C-alpha cells in the first residue's frame, strides 16, 4: 500500500463518547480508544497530522471563568489556547501509550497553533457561534454595553455571547509543523480550528474572539503540508443524501460536481455534514491527485484502503 501523508480531522465523538460526561477522566479514556485506529494508520507507515474540535471543552473553560467571577474575565482566544493544550495533552498521552504497546517509537507533539484570519472576513459582520454561559436579558444588555459583546437570545433558554466564524487564511506555525512531520514525528495541530489571529502589520499578531471551523482549518494545514489525503472522521461511516428519511442513500464516492448539486438541494446540515463536505471539496480542488475521505473513526483504516467511507474526488 502507498504510504501517504494524511491529515486527520477528529470529530467530537473522538473526545467525548458520552456527551453528558464532560470530565477530564472521561475524555482521557475516550482518547485512549481513539488512539487505536489512529495508530493503525501509523503502523501502516502513513505520516499523520491530527486536528480536532474543541466545542464542548472551550465552552466549559469559558463557563468556569464566568461562574467563578460572575462575568466573563478570560479573553476567548486564551480559552481556545487552553483547550488546545488540554485536549492535545490527552491525545499525546493516548497515542504515545498505544504506539509503545505496539513497539512503535515516535514522538508525539501537540502544538498551540495560531490560525490567521482576515479582519474583513464577512463572518465578523454577522457572528453566529454561541459561546459560554446563559445570561438574563438584563445581564446581556450590561455585557453589550460594558464589554461590547454581541448577545443573542438562544431558544428561550437565555442570552449568550456569539462570535464570528471566519475562514482560515494561513497557519502561523506551519513551518514548524512541516519540520516535525518531515522528521517522522506525529503532530497534533490546529486544535479547535486554531486560535484565530489577525495580522496587524510587520508580522505582529493579535488574537480575536472567533471560532474557526476545525474541518476548514484541517483542510488549510493539509494544503500547506501538501498532504495526499484529508480524512474527516465523524459519527457516521458514510455521507448520505436524504439523511434520516425512508429513501436515505449512503454514498461510496462523490465527485465535486455531485457534491455541489447535493449542497444546492440541501442534503447536508449546516452545523453538521455541510462544513465537512465543503472542506473535503476544497482540498480535492486545490491540487490534482488529492483525495478526501469522510468516514467514522472506527473505519479510518478500512476507509484509506478503499473498503468503506465516502471518497470525494475531482471527477
Give residue-wise pLDDT tens across range 217-260. Answer: 999 999 999 999 999 999 999 999 999 999 999 999 999 999 99
Query: Do residues 216 and 299 share a domain?
Result: yes
What pLDDT score does 11 carry?
87
Query: Do residues 144 and 199 share a domain?
Result: no
Q: Catalytic residue among 54, 123, 193, 214, which? A: 214
Query: Do residues 72 and 178 share a domain?
Result: yes
For residue 182, being part of any structural domain is answered with: yes
45: cell is: 507507515
The answer to whether residue 1 scores a pLDDT higher than 60 is no
Query: Do residues 231 and 285 share a domain?
Result: yes
Query: Do residues 55 and 31 share a domain?
Result: yes
SS (H, E, C) the chain: CCCCEEEEEECHHHCCCCCCCCCHHHHHHHHHHHHHHHHHHHHCCCEEEEEECCHHHHHHHHHHHHHHHCCCCCCHHHHHHHHHHHHHHHHHHHHHHHHHHCCCCCCEEECCCEEEECCCCHHHHCCCEEEEEEECHHHHHHHHHHHCCCEEECCCCCEEEEEECCCEEEECCHHHHHHHHHCCCEEECCHHHCEEEEEEECCEEEECCECCCHHHHHHHHHHHCCCCEEEEEECCCCCEECCCCCCCEECCEEEHHHHHHHHHCCCCCCCCHHHHHHHHHHHHHHCCCCEEEEEEHHHHHHHHCCCCCEEEECC
Query: Do residues 40 and 148 share a domain?
Result: no
Domain holding 158, by residue range, is: 129-163
What CATH number is associated with residue 104?
A: 3.40.1160.10
Per the prediction, the chain carries an average pLDDT of: 93
Q: Catalytic residue among 11, 13, 53, 303, which? A: 13
User: Active site includes 129?
Assistant: yes
User: Active site includes 309?
Assistant: no
Arithmetic mean of pLDDT, 17-45:
91
The answer to whether residue 125 scores a pLDDT higher than 70 is yes
User: Active site includes 276?
Assistant: yes
Of the residues 108, 140, 163, the one at which a domain ends: 163
Query: Do residues 183 and 308 share a domain?
Result: yes
Of the residues 143, 163, 183, the one at which a domain ends: 163
For residue 308, being part of any structural domain is answered with: yes
Q: Catalytic residue among 220, 238, 276, 282, which? A: 276
Query: Do residues 180 and 302 share a domain?
Result: yes
The answer to whether residue 146 scores a pLDDT higher than 70 is yes
221: cell is: 494545514
For residue 124, being part of any structural domain is answered with: no
Number of domains present in the structure of the chain? 2
Q: Catalytic residue among 54, 88, 123, 129, which? A: 129
Give CA–CA dist 30/176, Å, rounded. 28
pLDDT band at 72 (very low <50, low <70, confident <90, very high): low
User: Active site includes 178?
Assistant: no
What pLDDT score does 71 carry?
62
Query: Do residues 185 and 88 share a domain?
Result: yes
For residue 267, being part of any structural domain is answered with: yes
Arithmetic mean of pLDDT, 295-303:
93
pTM of the model: 0.92
User: Active site includes 13?
Assistant: yes
Amino acid at each position: 500500500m502507498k504510504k501517504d501523508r494524511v491529515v486527520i480531522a477528529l470529530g467530537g465523538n473522538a473526545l467525548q463518547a458520552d456527551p453528558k460526561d464532560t470530565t477530564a477522566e472521561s475524555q482521557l479514556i475516550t482518547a485512549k480508544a481513539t488512539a487505536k485506529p489512529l495508530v493503525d494508520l501509523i503502523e501502516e507507515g502513513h505520516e499523520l497530522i491530527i486536528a480536532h474540535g474543541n466545542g464542548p471543552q472551550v465552552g466549559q473553560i469559558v463557563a468556569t471563568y464566568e461562574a467563578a467571577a460572575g462575568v466573563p474575565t478570560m479573553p476567548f482566544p486564551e480559552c481556545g489556547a487552553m483547550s488546545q493544550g488540554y485536549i492535545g495533552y490527552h491525545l499525546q498521552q493516548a497515542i504515545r501509550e498505544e504506539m509503545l504497546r505496539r513497539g512503535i517509537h515516535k514522538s508525539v507533539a501537540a502544538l498551540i497553533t495560531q490560525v490567521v484570519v482576515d479582519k474583513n472576513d464577512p463572518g465578523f459582520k454577522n457572528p453566529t457561534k454561541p459561546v459560554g454561559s446563559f445570561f438574563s436579558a438584563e445581564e446581556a444588555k450590561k455585557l453589550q454595553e460594558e464589554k461590547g459583546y454581541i448577545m443573542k437570545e438562544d431558544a428561550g433558554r437565555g442570552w449568550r455571547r456569539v462570535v464570528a466564524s471566519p475562514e482560515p487564511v494561513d497557519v502561523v506555525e506551519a513551518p514548524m509543523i512541516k519540520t516535525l512531520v518531515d522528521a517522522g514525528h506525529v503532530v497534533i495541530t490546529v486544535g479547535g480550528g486554531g486560535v484565530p489571529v489577525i495580522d496587524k502589520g510587520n508580522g505582529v499578531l493579535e488574537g480575536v474572539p472567533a471560532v474557526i471551523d476545525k474541518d476548514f482549518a484541517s483542510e488549510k494545514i493539509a494544503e500547506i503540508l501538501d498532504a495526499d489525503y484529508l480524512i474527516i472522521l465523524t459519527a457516521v461511516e458514510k455521507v448520505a443524501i436524504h439523511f434520516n428519511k425512508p429513501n436515505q442513500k449512503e454514498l461510496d464516492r462523490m465527485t465535486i460536481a455531485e457534491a455541489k448539486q447535493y449542497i444546492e438541494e440541501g442534503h447536508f446540515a449546516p452545523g453538521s455534514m455541510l462544513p465537512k463536505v465543503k472542506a473535503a471539496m476544497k482540498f480535492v480542488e486545490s491540487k490534482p491527485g488529492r483525495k478526501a475521505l469522510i468516514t467514522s473513526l472506527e473505519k479510518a483504516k478500512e476507509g484509506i484502503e478503499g473498503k468503506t467511507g465516502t471518497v470525494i474526488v475531482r471527477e
